[in-house]
Structure 1
């Protein structure tokens, strides 16, 4: 849905299709388009026993492999927010990277220790605390009462203003129009696993990118064969993989300092393969719904893809 909230001439997916690209849009597990499972119903807590580690190891490689086998071609990848984290981590582990021609990362998140949204900071503190299993809730569904109550409690904390929920989460977006925000709030945010949010909160707290920390030496030993979860080493991403990163100066989730840390881990990347765009007045949602995104970002993205053929 994220890619289809704006008018057809302002949506990256449709602009790419109009430019002659074959466009495939994936859904993250747990969202309303992706709730099936060979064994579990979504009402079973086991269905929700995953974090973005599973997206990195299983889901994204399967999507890339599937599209590549259907088209007989390498793919150009576009991700926003969590879609950048899973791609970076997956490529660093060498998953399906041979089937990727280039990757565009909008509002990239890999490191989150400077996240400045009051709501995000309050939430990450809460998640890393004792409520790991959050009232035994396996599914974190923002549209249902337990989660709504949890958010209400966070919003009552000093310094957290949730009057404008979108700003409270993403920072001050410059370029959204009301007609876009409405369908956005109707469709987003979708359900995810509570465990996934705990994992993201660990990233905020620890300032490093690792697999899920079970918070217990024995559990970690059992899963990883060591007492601490292994780190993702982003400098393992093939140095000749063409990357286009675009980030915003007002982004409260993908803070400029955290993007610098990410760029630092890419410092050995081939210079001519790393394209970085900084948009001073953009925040997190501007990259997918900004009325100026077409001119500021998307035209550059299409241009970047075209250059891969020369």
Structure 2
């Protein structure tokens, strides 16, 4: 029987070839204001608000707020705010895929927190800009460097201004990388209470996802950029096609990319594929590919010394030094033994950089049977991961 991983790879490459040849971009269905609120939050009995935040470089970000739990008797500005930042190719719906007693956003709201759900630039809820449209290649001229430098500060400042409170932060995957990068430059810390990092990504040189490594090792994102595709082609049609391919089902597809998740329900996976994958910049995928191929943690490499000199005043990209994160920043890290993206060896490198962190400010949790998506979708994450996060937040 043909290996499903091989089938998926062949189908993916064929799809990309067709997209590149026709120079068409598959656009996401526009997410009108209130889309996630109306379809995923209010239907569960919660109040939900839509906010717009403008970053310093002009990107307009959608931000969803769940100000109170189902009891309805919380006073929003009296509760501590928590900002939740999703991972790559996802949006705020990542925190809402399970029932109320299993989804982190609902659990936090029901425990008295003022919950804010971020959406990365380029996703359905964050496709605005003060000057550019997504049809303009300049709109997609960013990588996760800009997410750390512009998006997170804008979101932190907005929530702080709205609530008058410092924030707790929860990031998953790419949402941990951008936070760690910002913390290493001592940014955001004046507005931060504590940070919980799930499937923490810093170093990626030992990532074990064979599917992703193949795509990165053939310089797929670089080729797409050369072909004039600044927006990484939306893959929702691709996912639907893959899931109908003989011998392949969506659970195999997820395991191929993220590792064998232990505890995802069929209902949560069905909800996931209604919103995944979201758009990102091809430049962002190139940056991540550089990290995997080189094992480095540094800013985007423009490839030529002259180009790097123009952007950074030095021939090589500046390094994000995780050891520079102040030792008194309260950090909660939870990682999994079966995670094919946030590999245990790469997490080990991060923890080595944090070895001098204040012992009472660093909590590290290891879930041997968890893969990448278990941390936001597992049916038992409420007990194994979220209860410890709640306890951590209450200490800080």
State the TM-score, normalized to the length of structure 2: 0.72
Match of 2:255 among 151, 158, 167: 167
Q: Determine the structure 1 residue equivalent to 2:274.
A: 186
1:100-119 alignment to 2 at 5 Å?
100-119=192-211
1:66-145 alignment to 2 at 5 Å?
66-127=158-219, 131=223, 133=225, 135-143=227-235
> Hey, what's the Cα distance between the residues in 1 that align with 2:227 and 2:288?
18
Q: Determine the structure 2 residue equivalent to 1:158.
A: none
1:191-210 alignment to 2 at 5 Å?
191-210=279-298
Aligned positions, number: 299
Quick one: structure 1 residues 12 and 134, their matched pair in 2 at CA, closer, same or farther if it must change by over 3 Å?
Answer: farther
> Hey, what's the Cα distance between the residues in 2 that align with 1:8 and 1:117?
31
Helix, strand or coil at the partner of 2:213: helix
Helix, strand or coil at the partner of 1:91: helix
CA-CA distance at 1:98 after TM superposition? 1.0
Q: Determine the structure 1 residue equivalent to 2:73.
A: none
CA-CA distance at 1:57 after TM superposition? 0.5
TM-superposition CA deviations, 1:59-94 (whole Å, max 9, x none): 101101111121111100000000000000011112
**What are structure 2's unaligned runs of at least 5 residues?**
1-92
Match of 1:21 among 113, 116, 136: 113
Q: Determine the structure 1 residue equivalent to 2:126.
A: 34
Match of 1:46 among 128, 138, 152: 138
> Hey, what's the Cα distance between the residues in 2 that align with 1:132 and 1:221?
25
Larger RCO, structure (CA 8 Å, separation 6 or more)? 1
Q: Is the 8 A contact 2:336 2:344 kept in 1?
A: yes
> Hey, what's the Cα distance between the residues in 1 that align with 2:380 and 2:236?
34
> Hey, what's the Cα distance between the residues in 1 that align with 2:197 and 2:318?
24
1:228 aligns with 2:228: no
Structure having the higher Rg? 2
CA-CA distance at 1:211 after TM superposition? 0.3
Query: Larger deviation: 281-290 or 262-271?
Result: 262-271
> Hey, what's the Cα distance between the residues in 2 that align with 1:213 and 1:260?
24
CA-CA distance at 1:132 after TM superposition? 5.7
1:286 aligns with 2:378: no
CA-CA distance at 1:213 after TM superposition? 0.1
State the TM-score, normalized to the length of structure 1: 0.92
Helix, strand or coil at the partner of 1:208: coil
More strand by share: 2
Q: Determine the structure 1 residue equivalent to 2:94.
A: 2
Quick one: structure 1 residues 216 and 128, their matched pair in 2 at CA, closer, same or farther if it must change by over 3 Å?
Answer: farther
1:273 aligns with 2:361: yes
Helix, strand or coil at the partner of 2:218: helix
> Hey, what's the Cα distance between the residues in 2 that align with 1:194 and 1:134?
10
